[in-house]
Amino acid sequence: MAGPLAGDPYGAFVRTGPGKFLAARTGLPRPPRLRRYEEGQDLLTGPALVTGLSGAAHVDAVRDALRAAGADLDVGTGPLGALVVDASGLRTVDQLGELLATAPDFKRTRGRVLVLSAVPPEVGDPEARAVQQGLEGFVRSLGKEARGGTTVNLLRVADGTTTSLRSAVQFFCSARSAYVDGQPLVVGPGEPQPVRDQRVAVVTGAAQGIGAATAEVLARTGHHVVCVDIAASGEKLAAVANRVGGSTLHLDVTADSAPRTLAEHLAGRFEGADVVVHNAGITRDRSFVNLDEAAWGSVLAVNLGAPVRLTTALLDHPGALAPGARFVCLSSMNGIAGAKGQTNYATSKAGLIGLVQALAGPLSERGFAVNAVAPGFIETPMTAAMPPVPRELGRRTSSLQQGGLPVDVAETIGWLAQPDAAGVDGQVLRVCGQNLLGA
Ligand code: NAD
């Protein structure tokens, strides 16, 4: 959906004739129209150029991945839909200068720029490690210079990675990653489990916002979705479940009985879940000195306590999880950067990152993977309730100069849930349009 900027009157205004004129004359932000996933669309809006710098190891694999997704690699001299620069073989400070030669290609790219690096600790000697880490600064800066909705991201490719590299290249070069910008991500060699005939996903907080969009994306990608929310969301939850051909489970994720109820439901009715999305979340914003126990306790219980308890129960309960199951936790940019009035919320969201990092190793031994997505400013009822000035600042302080849509977060979760993304594990991926906060 290329779509209007939902709930963003300024963003809509600057796309009108008078709005464009005014913004051009005054230097006000002009948020670009983002290209989002639509059924049957081409991967890219133009051909893809794959460039290998010294020692590049992945050029053929990237070309194969792009070709398999229907991209045209015959670049000609016109605009490029994607530019992929394999810098993973650079080892010396002098070699970093090779990046300069890609500037003309960057200039003609309208869509996606992807830089490939090694995983710095894997390269050994200090200069090589410094050089590979340097690529992060390069990518983050280039993201801030890109125009017209072009995004720039960094894939750190671990030794021996094949399937997940293909999957990551296809995701980051597609319209599904429209709001992922300026981010590094490690992809490793994990291999997918055999895919079941009927995959099952459970999404908590599925009645609206990001959870509802996630249910839609997971249904589109072949999952029966168990839509979980509190009983008070009954009608909205039923509407989502009907729309996606899924089922409902009324559950307060903080209830004492919730972990057992969910585990028994998944084991008894579905032979386990392939995907678990811990999305239910709340805010109770106020300054630390004004926080009472209820505002602290409820936020910590829903946002962090419930994912901890539910995950433990699902891991312990025989049959609650299918082989190769994926967990995705909804963290937040504010859990990384902190936010005034959100000590409770940021504690819970940073805690989720700790949970992901703690579980990744032990879970991968069982063939599971766990990751977090950290949304920036997303247009949902949660952000619609913000006071006008912080809301407007939240939208504009990103490279893409606009809030994301729930579907942007959902597409990222949908990718992490895919069997062939098995090598992405223990990661935190921001979906924030390269928001300046905590970047
Ligand atoms: P939302 O308020 O629109 O929806 C949250 C859903 O969770 C609601 O349907 C609600 O009923 C449900 N829920 C709340 N408490 C529950 C409980 N105890 N048991 C079961 N369900 C419960 O929120 P959203 O904006 O779609 O956000 C979804 C997730 O993304 C949250 O975890 C949020 O913290 C995170 N997030 C959102 C943004 C944003 O900009 N909207 C940014 C960063 C992170």
CATH of the domain at 56: 3.40.50.720
Burial letters for 124-151: b for 16+ Cβ neighbours within 10 Å, e otherwise?
Answer: eeeebbebbebbbebbbebbeebeebbb
Query: How do residues 419-428 score in pLDDT, each as one tens digit?
Result: 999 999 999 9
Tell me, yes or no, whether 179 and 217 share the same domain: no
Measure the CA–CA gap between 244 and 410, rounded to whole angstroms.
14
Do the domain assignments include residue 436? no
Ligand 1 atom nearest residue 237's Cα:
9
The alpha carbon of 389 and the centre of ligand 1 are apart by a number of angstroms equal to 22
The dihedral through the CA atoms of 435, 437, 438, 439 has a sign that is: positive
Tell me, yes or no, whether 284 and 376 share the same domain: yes
Q: Which amino acid is at 21?
A: F
Is residue 132 scored above 60 in pLDDT? yes
Q: Please spell the DSSP secondary structure of 248-293, one letter per residue.
A: EEE--TTSTTHHHHHHHHHHHHHS-EEEEEE---------GGG--H
Listed residues 130, 159, 187: the one ending a domain: 187
Look-up: residue for tokens 């991201």?
Answer: 153
Residue nearest to atom 30 of ligand 1 (CA): 330
Residue nearest to atom 37 of ligand 1 (CA): 375
**Predicted pLDDT at 141:** 98
Average pLDDT over residues 292-307: 98
Tell me, yes or no, whether 268 and 395 share the same domain: yes
The alpha carbon of 364 and the centre of ligand 1 are apart by a number of angstroms equal to 27
Average pLDDT over residues 168-173: 98
Average pLDDT over residues 382-398: 87
**Predicted pLDDT at 390:** 84
Among 3-17, 30-44, 249-263, 280-294, which stretch is predicted with the lowest mean pLDDT?
3-17
Tell me, yes or no, whether 292 and 302 share the same domain: yes
Tell me, yes or no, whether 58 and 207 share the same domain: no
Ligand 1 atom nearest residue 232's Cα:
11
**Predicted pLDDT at 9:** 81
Measure the CA–CA gap between 439 and 406, rounded to whole angstroms.
21
The alpha carbon of 328 and the centre of ligand 1 are apart by a number of angstroms equal to 14
Give me the active site residues, please.
345
Residue 5 or 338, more confident: 338
Does residue 382 come out as left (phi exceeding 0), alpha (psi in the -120 to 50 range) or beta?
A: alpha
**Which residues, other chains included, contact 59 with Cβ-Cβ below 8 Å and sequence gap of 6+?**
50, 51, 52, 86
Residue nearest to atom 39 of ligand 1 (CA): 378
**Greatest Cα-to-Cα distance within the chain, rounded to the nearest angstrom:** 64
Is residue 136 scored above 90 in pLDDT? yes
Q: Pocket of ligand 1, candidates 330, 353, 356, 386: which has the most ligand atoms within 8 Å of its Cβ, to mutate?
A: 330
Query: How do residues 310-326 score in pLDDT, each as one tens digit?
Result: 999 999 999 999 999 99
Using N-to-C axis directions, what is the helix angle for 209-220 and 406-416, rounded to 10°?
50
**Predicted pLDDT at 1:** 36
The alpha carbon of 279 and the centre of ligand 1 are apart by a number of angstroms equal to 6
Tell me, yes or no, whether 171 and 203 share the same domain: no
With CA atoms as reference, report the closest residue to 13 among 399, 378, 395. Answer: 395
Is residue 5 scored above 60 in pLDDT? no
Ligand 1 atom nearest residue 378's Cα:
40
Residue 157 structural domain? 32-187
- What band does 191 get if pLDDT is binned at 50, 70 and 90? confident
- What band does 2 get if pLDDT is binned at 50, 70 and 90? very low
CA 239 to chain CA centroid, nearest Å = 25
Six-digit token pair at 88?
Answer: 């993973």
**Predicted pLDDT at 389:** 87
- What band does 194 get if pLDDT is binned at 50, 70 and 90? confident
Among 62-66, 120-124, 176-180, 435-439, which stretch is predicted with the lowest mean pLDDT?
435-439
Residue nearest to atom 27 of ligand 1 (CA): 210
Is residue 439 scored above 80 in pLDDT? no
**Which residues, other chains included, contact 274 with Cβ-Cβ below 8 Å and sequence gap of 6+?**
196, 199, 200, 201, 223, 322, 324, 325, 326, 417
Tell me, yes or no, whether 426 and 340 share the same domain: yes
Do the domain assignments include residue 3? yes
* Mean pLDDT over the full length of the chain: 94
Is residue 14 scored above 90 in pLDDT? no
Whether 275 and 325 have beta carbons less than 8 Å apart is answered as yes
With CA atoms as reference, report the closest residue to 433 among 386, 393, 387, 401. Answer: 401
- What share of the chain has pLDDT > 70, as a percent? 98
Do the domain assignments include residue 56? yes
Residues in the chain: 439
**Predicted pLDDT at 142:** 98
3-state helix, strand, coil in the chain (%, to 5): 45, 20, 35
Is residue 281 scored above 80 in pLDDT? yes
Tell me, yes or no, whether 362 and 257 share the same domain: yes
Pocket of ligand 1 (CB under 6 A): 204-205, 207-211, 229-230, 233, 252-254, 279-282, 302, 330, 332, 375, 377-378, 380-383
Do the domain assignments include residue 193? no
Measure the CA–CA gap between 115 and 57, rounded to whole angstroms.
13
Tell me, yes or no, whether 300 and 422 share the same domain: yes
Tell me, yes or no, whether 407 and 389 share the same domain: yes
The alpha carbon of 13 and the centre of ligand 1 are apart by a number of angstroms equal to 29
Do the domain assignments include residue 266? yes
Do the domain assignments include residue 437? no
Residue nearest to atom 6 of ligand 1 (CA): 205
Q: Collapsing DSSP states into helix, strand and coil, what is residue 153?
A: strand
The alpha carbon of 240 and the centre of ligand 1 are apart by a number of angstroms equal to 15
Ligand 1 atom nearest residue 375's Cα:
43
145 phi/psi in degrees, rounded to 5: -95, -20
Residue nearest to atom 17 of ligand 1 (CA): 252
Whether 14 and 23 have beta carbons less than 8 Å apart is answered as yes
Is residue 364 scored above 80 in pLDDT? yes
Tell me, yes or no, whether 314 and 419 share the same domain: yes
Tell me, yes or no, whether 225 and 183 share the same domain: no
Ligand 1 atom nearest residue 334's Cα:
43
Q: Collapsing DSSP states into helix, strand and coil, what is residue 203?
A: strand
- What band does 6 get if pLDDT is binned at 50, 70 and 90? low
The alpha carbon of 76 and the centre of ligand 1 are apart by a number of angstroms equal to 46
Is residue 197 scored above 70 in pLDDT? yes
